[in-house]
Amino acid sequence: MSKLNEQMVHIATEIVVVLGLTFYFNQKTKKLMGCIDELNKKVQEQEELLKKHEQIIKQMIDFINKLEIPKEQPKEKNGKKTKIPKSPVVTKKDVLKIPLKVPEKTNNIKIEPTPKPKLKLTQIQELYE
């Protein structure tokens, strides 16, 4: 019977070791699957963000293209080409030429001293109590 007991103990320890390894690897795989799911979510968020950025860039390009004025060919009047007036360029010199209205100095302004407070500090403290 001692051989039977030894075999039973040996089988029981092998089962315990196999169950322990199964539990350990099961926990590891769950943890890794959680990390993979989290990374998949982040990748999807990044893809959505890229799509939004692409849409914004396309809208900006369309807007810029709409702003560009196509160059028109000058129309002919009586066989002569008319010049297209250029948009005026405002320079710093032009800005300095703009007359500024400066208020006239008046000596009639009277500055009065600020009036003394009618309430005393103790009266103000009583109001807030």
Which pLDDT value is given to residue 63? 83
> What is this structure's pTM?
0.42
DSSP state of 98: S
* Average of per-residue pLDDT across 21-45: 96
Which pLDDT value is given to residue 60? 86
Which pLDDT value is given to residue 82? 60
Average pLDDT of the chain to the nearest whole number: 76
At 82-128, the pLDDT tens digits run 665 555 555 555 555 555 555 555 556 666 666 665 666 676 667 66
Instruction: Give the Cβ contact number of residue 48 at 10 Å.
Output: 10
Which pLDDT value is given to residue 124? 65
Distances (CA, A) of 96 to 86, 91, 99: 22, 9, 8
